[in-house]
Amino acid sequence: MTHWITVFCFCALLISGIEIVISHPRFYWGEVGNVGTSPLFTIPIPSSRGTVPTGYGFVMPDQNGWSRYLHFQTAWALVLTGLVYGLAGLWTGHFWKDLVPERGDRKWRAYWGRTAQYLRRTPPEAREANSYNVLQRTAYLGVIFVLFPLVIWTGLASSPAFDSAVPAAVNLLGGRQSARTLHFFVSGALVLFLLVHVAMVALSGFRNRMRGMISGRLVVPEAAVPEEERS
Ligand code: HEM
């Protein structure tokens, strides 16, 4: 449930986030950034604000109002969903049992080995039928405990209200405009994760993985069942 609410929120955040970027496709470093200061970089797209210099001779339709409302509202829905997921994961031991790499896998050799297996398209080992491999575990842990907390922190730090309430949390990131720039890159990393994640689900059997995810019933391919357990 928390995964699919997250997917829904993520899509809404992505669409509204793109609209917000279109209203000002210039990024800055430090506390202050506006059309009068020089940007760190500019995304070469037209803007929905006539006052923003983009080099284009036209202005996009302005969708900034609803986008900001939706972005902020959905971010809170995602934070609450994340809290439920986090508490459930701690309570049930899911993080330790299923996401922290197994003791024998905590070495570079295990990472290279599994990567090579993917590249050679070797069928997964039997133990992977009902558990995540070391690459999946590390990617999921990175998303849950690094990228998500970062995207929330940098997003909150981009808000003037948060900046005046907790300036120390914004200064640590280098200022409000730095927070916005970092927010953009962390969101990009999450989009990259999503693309690879969905591609891997598709490659490993979309219907089966989705059935397993939603109903708990996973069809284990014959090749992945150890010989002595085959009927
Ligand atoms: C339409 C998009 C998505 C699909 C189809 C999808 C599908 C799945 C599936 C089938 C699994 C089970 C793992 C497996 O069978 O290998 C999974 C797990 C997971 N997904 Fe997604 N996912 C999507 C979007 C996302 C997004 C947007 C995020 C977060 C940014 C995300 C984060 C995760 C995480 C962290 C897990 C592991 C959760 C756990 O076991 O506690 N997914 N996903």
Winning range, highest mean pLDDT, from 31-45, 114-128, 204-218: 31-45
pTM, whole model, 2 decimals?
Answer: 0.92
**What is the per-residue pLDDT for 125?**
81
User: Which of the four pLDDT bands, split at 50, 70 and 90, describes residue 229?
Assistant: low
Span from the CA of 50 to the centroid of ligand 1 (angstroms): 40
Mean per-residue pLDDT over the chain, rounded: 93
Nearest-angstrom CA–CA distance, 56 and 26: 14
Average pLDDT over residues 40-45: 97
pLDDT greater than 60 at residue 230: no
**The one-letter amino acid at 6:** T
Residue minimizing CA distance to atom 6 of ligand 1: 198
Average pLDDT over residues 145-164: 96
Span from the CA of 124 to the centroid of ligand 1 (angstroms): 19
Do residues 129 and 212 make contact, with C-beta atoms less than 8 angstroms apart?
Answer: no
**HEC profile of 62-126:** CCHHHHHHHHHHHHHHHHHHHHHHHHHHHHHCHHHHHHCCCHHHCCHHHHHHHHHHHHHCCCCCH
**The one-letter amino acid at 145:** F
pLDDT greater than 80 at residue 226: no
Calculate what percentage of the chain has a pLDDT beyond 70.
Answer: 95
Average pLDDT over residues 42-65: 94
67: tokens are 């986008």
Residue minimizing CA distance to atom 22 of ligand 1: 198
pLDDT greater than 80 at residue 119: yes
pLDDT greater than 90 at residue 123: no
User: Which of the four pLDDT bands, split at 50, 70 and 90, describes residue 74?
Assistant: very high
pLDDT greater than 60 at residue 82: yes
pLDDT greater than 90 at residue 196: yes
Q: Which of 12-16, 119-123, 131-135 is the least confident region?
A: 119-123
Question: Going by C-beta distance under 8 Å and a sequence separation of 6 or more, which residues neighbour residue 85?
Answer: 2, 3, 6, 144
Residue among 21, 27, 33 at smallest CA distance from 60: 21
Residue minimizing CA distance to atom 27 of ligand 1: 7
* Closest atom of ligand 1 relative to the 143 alpha carbon: 35
Question: Going by C-beta distance under 8 Å and a sequence separation of 6 or more, which residues neighbour residue 102?
Answer: 134
Residue minimizing CA distance to atom 5 of ligand 1: 198
Average pLDDT over residues 115-142: 90
Pick the more confident residue, 204 or 157.
157
Ligand 1 site residues, Cβ closer than 6 angstroms? 3, 6-7, 10, 94, 98, 140, 143-144, 190, 193-194, 197-198, 201, 209-210, 212-213
Do residues 193 and 151 make contact, with C-beta atoms less than 8 angstroms apart?
Answer: no
**What is the per-residue pLDDT for 205?**
86
Span from the CA of 159 to the centroid of ligand 1 (angstroms): 29
Span from the CA of 155 to the centroid of ligand 1 (angstroms): 22
Average pLDDT over residues 148-177: 96
Span from the CA of 199 to the centroid of ligand 1 (angstroms): 11
